[in-house]
């Protein structure tokens, strides 16, 4: 059996040098592993956190909302003298308005490749009355089969169900508590225009927000249209898109087509995106400095190795080994250290993430939030650590290749 | 004919260290010498006389400041580092006072190294050649012993086998018996002598041992950077 079967000279020497200094090699691989594990853990945690935030934000909100244009005032004009009459203009009151030809607009918007669904809704304010108790609510009238594709209300139901008919209403847990309501109870809904209607509580939801659980109520589109006095109308079109992060671009396209007011969730949650951006920057900085410390760790170990092995390098040069071969021997060592450390680190990071998911729970025992186990992240970490190892090895490798053989042999 | 006759031709070789600095020192003051194919030549002289510097220059590990150095008929002074390395690898074998084996490898692997470095990849014939060389220096039972576990004499014999791996025309032995006891020194010397005779390799043998020097074909004495 032949020795070193199929392995190139540089690989053989590099591997032996690494395996000879087992303790040194183990320590540096340990250091690299911890660095890689930190990067993987942090990235998955922050990515999971961001996805969770986005999911939570979009649980109670459409990706895009199409609204009728706001009413504006125009100054009274004297056409005879071509002058403006009014010196002061007052902002107009915004009435609940319908989107003109909303069926046609919904059809046009659905034709966008990026759009998944369009849901018409009629929204407005009303009073809930039960006995002597009264509370103001914001009602949303919708078609459950379409609307729940956009807002997953059924997932938030804690009692009853979310599938309302024209005689039903779905309310929040806080409103139910305040009014002493439960499934099957009747409540009276009154609009500002004097219309009253009696509805049955079909379901109670918990959106995870006390305010939202107090103020929001959902009824069928037909019910909302009749109570708000806007028969056959829709005051808003809620839109879902394929890529939530493309919502602003799609919103602009829709605005251009329809000349209506179009708002994406990105625009309405600007502060959230600033926070996400800051978090991403902080994460990148942490990753950069961890990678830097890994790089310096590898470089320092290899510099020591060059010094320790100077007589070996000298004798190799004396027996005809070229500077290029010596360079490759040390570059390989850096690359192998990075690669091995990355694999162990990926394993450690994966285990840490699993442990986190297992031990960090919500008070109700559910998972705090789902972490992102993206294979791409592991591959990237391994590639980056290997490249860091190679880069970190450049200086020691050059030093080794440039050693004067006479001085090196002398030690 | 002359190029084939002489393995080594030195003409006016000078070596100055720290050129242009206050501590500038000329160590070799114009060495003229030749070495015939198969010749076993001893170099003697006191410590600091320039023997090792001369050997480093002849071994293409260092460059002369002035003069001409021809190895197997090829002028080397103007050669680039890569060409010098190639010529050194194919033409010269080194045996130093300290064996300089690589402890990460076994005796067999150490002897395979020059051939591996030259060809890039291992092969069956490289291993067989290394086994043959170790057998010829009497180390067959220790083929797979780690270099660090061999005795001083055994390590020096592995170093000789390694020096012979590329079948060089010239062996440079810089006090190879300096660290050995009398018996081991004799074994190493006889080994080199036999190889030189059998394989027609030229040997430059630096030594302080007068007895060994007397057993060489010729003895050159280096004193104060000159051959007397």
- Of A43-52, A144-153, B204-213, give the lowest mean pLDDT range: A43-52
List the one residue out of B154, B166, B164 whose CA is nearest residue B203.
Answer: B164
Closest CB from B62, B85, B124 relative to A320? B85
Query: How many structural domains are present in chain A?
Result: 2
Q: Do B122 and A406 touch (CB under 8 A)?
A: no
What would the DSSP string read from start to end of A253-311?
Answer: HHHHHH-SEEEEHHHHTHHHHHHHHHHHHHHHHHHHHHHHHHHHHHHHHHHHHHHHTHH
**For B136-159, how does the pLDDT look when each residue is reduced to its tens digit (9 = 90+)?**
888 999 999 999 999 988 999 999
Chain B nearest C-alpha distance from A321 (Å): 6
Same domain, A327 and A228: no
pLDDT band at B3 (very low <50, low <70, confident <90, very high): very low
- Note down the domain range covering A372: 9-57+273-410
Same domain, A344 and A253: no
Instruction: Record the pTM.
Output: 0.74
Q: Do A7 and B62 touch (CB under 8 A)?
A: no
Q: Do B61 and A9 touch (CB under 8 A)?
A: no
Same domain, A243 and A376: no
List the one residue out of B43, B39, B35, B9 whose CA is nearest residue B227.
Answer: B43
Residue A311 with chain B: CB contacts under 8 Å = 100
Residue B82 with chain A: CB contacts under 8 Å = 322-323
Same domain, A162 and A220: yes
Sorted by sequence, the CB contacts under 8 Å of residue A404 that are 6+ apart come out as: none
The pair of structure tokens assigned to A375 is 């294979």
Query: CA dist A259 to A68, A70, A71, B165, B215, Å?
Result: 9, 11, 14, 86, 108
Interface of B to A at Cβ within 8 Å reads 56, 59, 61-62, 81-82, 85-86, 88-90, 93-94, 96, 100, 102-105, 108-109, 112-114, 116-124, 127, 162, 165-166
pLDDT band at A95 (very low <50, low <70, confident <90, very high): low
3-state class of A85 per DSSP? coil
In a domain, A331, yes or no: yes
pLDDT of amino acid A77? 75
In a domain, A398, yes or no: yes
- ipTM of predicted assembly, 2 dp: 0.89
In a domain, A23, yes or no: yes
What backbone phi and psi angles, to 5 degrees, belong to A159?
A: -145, 145
Q: Quick one: DSSP state of residue A99?
A: P
Domain end call among A259, A281, A309: A259
Count of CB contacts below 8 A, A vs B?
88
Domain end call among A259, A288, A303: A259
What would the DSSP string read from start to end of B13-25?
Answer: EEEEESTTSTT-E
Cα–Cα dist B34/B53, whole Å: 17
Sorted by sequence, the CB contacts under 8 Å of residue B80 that are 6+ apart come out as: none
List the one residue out of A212, A408, A224, A186 whose CA is nearest residue A307.
Answer: A408
Same domain, A53 and A103: no
Query: How many structural domains are present in chain B?
Result: 1
Q: Are B60 and B87 in contact (CB under 8 A)?
A: yes
Query: CA dist A159 to A23, A162, A344, B167, Å?
Result: 62, 9, 47, 91
Same domain, A201 and A280: no
In a domain, A195, yes or no: yes
In this prediction, residues B123-134 reach a mean pLDDT of 92
Same domain, A224 and A284: no
Sorted by sequence, the CB contacts under 8 Å of residue A366 that are 6+ apart come out as: none
Chain A nearest C-alpha distance from B51 (Å): 14
**For A279-311, how does the pLDDT look when each residue is reduced to its tens digit (9 = 90+)?**
888 888 888 898 888 889 889 988 988 888 898
User: Chain A residue with minimal CA distance to B109?
Assistant: A3
Indicate which CATH number applies to the domain containing B89.
3.40.50.300
3-state class of A216 per DSSP? strand
pLDDT band at B84 (very low <50, low <70, confident <90, very high): very high
Domain end call among A204, A225, A259: A259
In this prediction, residues A151-171 reach a mean pLDDT of 90
Q: Quick one: DSSP state of residue B186?
A: H
The pair of structure tokens assigned to A258 is 């329809």
Same domain, A38 and A173: no
- Note down the domain range covering B89: 37-62+82-227
Residue A361: pLDDT above 60?
yes
């Amino acid at each position: 059996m032949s020795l070193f079967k199929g392995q190139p000279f540089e690989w053989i020497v590099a591997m032996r040098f690494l395996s000879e200094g087992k303790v040194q090699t183990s320590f540096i691989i340990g250091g690299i592993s911890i660095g890689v594990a930190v990067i993987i853990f942090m990235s998955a945690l922050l990515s999971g956190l961001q996805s969770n935030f986005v999911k939570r934000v979009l649980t109670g909100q459409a990706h895009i909302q199409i609204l009728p244009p706001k009413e504006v005032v125009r100054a009274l004009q004297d056409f005879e003298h071509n002058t403006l009459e009014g010196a002061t203009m007052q902002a107009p009151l915004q009435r609940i308005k319908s989107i003109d030809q909303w069926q046609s607009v919904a059809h046009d918007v659905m034709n966008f490749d990026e759009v998944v669904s369009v849901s018409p809704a009629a929204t407005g304010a009303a009073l809930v009355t039960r006995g002597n108790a009264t509370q103001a609510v914001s009602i949303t009238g919708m078609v459950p089969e379409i609307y729940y594709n956009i807002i997953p209300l059924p997932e938030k139901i804690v009692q009853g169900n979310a599938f309302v008919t024209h005689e039903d209403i779905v309310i929040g847990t806080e409103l139910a508590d305040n009014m002493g309501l439960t499934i099957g109870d009747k409540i009276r809904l009154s609009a500002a225009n004097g219309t009253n209607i009696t509805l049955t509580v079909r379901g109670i939801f918990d959106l995870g927000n006390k305010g939202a659980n107090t103020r929001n109520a959902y009824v069928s589109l037909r019910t909302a249209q009749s109570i708000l006095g806007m028969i056959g109308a829709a005051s808003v079109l809620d839109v879902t898109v394929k890529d939530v992060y493309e919502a602003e671009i799609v919103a602009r396209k829709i605005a251009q087509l329809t000349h209506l007011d179009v708002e994406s969730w990105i625009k309405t949650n600007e502060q959230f995106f600033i926070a996400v951006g800051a978090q991403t920057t902080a994460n990148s900085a942490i990753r950069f400095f961890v990678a830097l410390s890994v790089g310096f760790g590898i470089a320092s170990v290899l510099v020591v190795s060059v010094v320790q092995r100077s007589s070996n390098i000298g004798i190799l040069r004396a027996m005809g080994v070229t500077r290029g071969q010596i360079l490759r021997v040390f570059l390989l060592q850096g690359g192998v250290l990075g690669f091995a450390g990355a694999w162990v680190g990926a394993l450690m990071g994966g285990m840490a993430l699993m442990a986190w998911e297992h031990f960090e729970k919500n008070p109700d025992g559910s998972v705090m939030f789902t972490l992102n186990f993206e294979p791409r992240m592991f591959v990237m970490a391994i590639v980056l650590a290997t490249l860091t190892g190679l880069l970190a090895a450049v200086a020691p490798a050059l030093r080794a290749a440039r050693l004067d053989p006479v001085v090196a042999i002398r030690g | 004919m002359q190029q084939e006759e002489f393995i080594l031709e030195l003409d006016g070789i000078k070596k100055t260290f720290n050129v242009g600095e206050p501590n500038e020192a000329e160590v070799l003051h114009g060495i003229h010498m030749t070495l015939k194919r198969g010749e076993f030549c001893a170099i003697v002289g006191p410590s600091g006389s320039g023997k090792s510097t001369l050997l480093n220059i002849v071994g293409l590990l260092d460059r002369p400041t002035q003069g001409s150095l021809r190895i197997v008929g090829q002028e080397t002074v103007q050669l680039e580092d890569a060409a010098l390395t190639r010529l050194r690898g194919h033409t010269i074998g080194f045996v130093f006072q300290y064996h300089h084996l690589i402890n990460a490898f076994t005796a067999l692997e150490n002897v395979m190294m020059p051939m591996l470095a030259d060809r890039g990849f291992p092969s069956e014939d490289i291993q067989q050649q290394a086994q043959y060389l170790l057998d010829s220096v009497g180390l067959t039972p220790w083929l797979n012993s780690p270099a660090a576990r061999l005795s001083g004499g055994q390590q020096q014999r592995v170093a000789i086998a390694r020096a012979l791996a590329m079948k060089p025309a010239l062996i440079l032995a810089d006090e190879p018996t300096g660290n050995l006891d009398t018996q081991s020194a004799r074994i190493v010397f006889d080994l080199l002598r036999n190889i030189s005779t059998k394989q027609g390799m030229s040997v430059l043998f630096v030594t302080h041992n007068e007895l060994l020097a007397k057993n060489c074909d010729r003895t050159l004495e280096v004193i104060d950077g000159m051959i007397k």
